[in-house]
Amino acid sequence: MNTTESQNVTDYPNSNTIFMVWKLHDSPQLKDIFQELCALVLNLNNSVFNRFPDSRASCVMGIGAEAWRKLELPMPLPKELTGFEEIKGVKHTAVSTPGDLHFHLRADNKSLIFDMAVEISKLLSSVAESILEIHGFKYWDARSILGFVDGTENPHGDDRDYFGKIGDEDPQYKGGSYLFVQKYLHNMDAWKSLSTEDQEKVIGRSKENDIEMSDDIKPSNSHIALANIEGENGEELKIVRDNMPFGNPSTNEFGTYFIAYSSTFTTTKKMLTNMFIGDPPGNYDRILDFSTAVTGTLFFVPTRNMLDEFSG
């Protein structure tokens, strides 16, 4: 009996990351190149594990809904794989932007992911164009450019699989994952004009020690208050975040690449709705006054078994 083997969606964040989003062309070579690409992704993962077993290096590929249809992959689609629809609040919008393939390359040693990106780009360049490439890095003790620790609420242990991978609710795609990404740009001048105390009220945690404020003093529009969500029965709902900061100081571009793997996109969408529309409506996430989402795209991450089937 074949066991389901997922891509490395629940790996923990590490020191270096390259994110790439590609748009596919209409090309007679497209399906053949995609077959080669699936084989390449499997090969890259096997190679780095064998050569550098302690490097924590991996390549995860996600596929968008439009690309899924264009490549004539199995039907029906994963239950929640659609084009992302923008979420528009009174002041801020979670925009929707195109993207057919997403690559999440990570390793402690940047050389490994650089070489992976070169091989992927070499193969895809004849049938697709790169529409986004971001090089992320670990900033101090896993802090965002805003200076606060990022990812504290991530699940751990077996919970990472539970919240990050599809289960029996969609048997055809069990072990796969929904991947949602946003590129955020930060207004650092406005952020730094706040006192540390006011910054802490925006986030809902202490800046130095990463301690969450008690509910009686945590502002209702703080990031923590709105991004931590519950189900209908009060159960805690989580996603597996692998956010990474990036920046170009000379051009004053500083940001966070938000990346969430989840067993159901409904959870991620509920969190985004809380942040951008507010709970109650109008009580939006105050962090959005300093952080602008300039992309927003949903992908599906097939299992390694499916990649093997797609490779022909």
pTM equals 0.97
SS3 183: strand
pLDDT band per the 50, 70, 90 thresholds, residue 290: very high
Does pLDDT of 1 surpass 50? no
pLDDT at 232: 86
In a domain, 87, yes or no: yes
Is residue 3 one of the residues assigned to a domain? no
Instruction: Evaluate whether residue 7 is within a structural domain.
Output: no
DSSP H or E run through 16:
strand 16-24
- Residue 276 to residue 93: CA distance in whole angstroms: 6
Q: Is 127 inside a domain boundary?
A: yes
How far is 109 from 119, CA to CA, in rounded Å?
17
Query: Taken in order 292, 295, 298, 300, is the CA torsion positive or negative?
Result: negative
Q: Is the pLDDT of residue 72 over 90?
A: yes
Burial class (CB in 10 A: 0-12, 13-18, 19+), 218: middle
Residues 6+ apart with CB under 8 A from 85: 96
Report phi then psi at 293, rounded to 5. Answer: -80, 120
pLDDT of residue 288: 98
Share of the chain above pLDDT 70, in %: 99
Are the C-beta atoms of 102 and 299 separated by less than 8 Å?
A: yes
What are 222-240's pLDDT values in tens digits? Answer: 999 999 999 988 899 999 9
Q: Is residue 10 domain-resident?
A: no
For residue range 251-289, what is the model confidence (pLDDT) as tens digits?
999 999 999 999 999 999 999 999 999 999 999 999 999
Separation CA 75–CA 86 (nearest Å)? 25
Among residues 306, 299, 303, 296, the alpha carbon closest in space to that of 64 is found at: 299
Task: Tell me the per-residue pLDDT of 127-139, one tens digit each, with 9 for 90 and over.
Answer: 999 999 999 999 9
Residue 69 falls inside a structural domain: yes
User: Is there a domain that residue 139 lies in?
Assistant: yes
Summary mean pLDDT of the chain: 97
Beta-bridge partners for 50: none
Mean per-residue pLDDT, 162-173: 96
Kindly report, residue by residue over 22-69, the tens digit of the pLDDT.
999 999 999 999 999 999 999 999 999 999 999 999 999 999 999 999
Query: So what's the pLDDT on residue 264?
Result: 97
H runs (alpha helix) in the chain: 30-51, 65-70, 110-124, 158-164, 188-192, 196-203, 223-227, 265-276, 304-310
Which residues form the domain of 198?
16-310
- Token look-up 């994110």 returns 19
Straight-line distance from the first to the last Cα atom of the chain, in angstroms, rounded to the nearest whole number: 20
Cα separation, 281 vs 287, whole angstroms: 16
Domain count, the chain: 1
| Helix and strand numbers, DSSP H then E, in the chain | 9, 14
Residue 8 lies in a domain: no
pLDDT (average), residues 194-216: 97
Q: What is the DSSP letter of 15?
A: S
Supply φ then ψ for residue 18, to 5 degrees. Answer: -120, 125
Residues catalogued as catalytic: 150
Q: Where are the alpha helices (DSSP H) in 101-228?
A: 110-124, 158-164, 188-192, 196-203, 223-227
pLDDT at 2 over 70: no
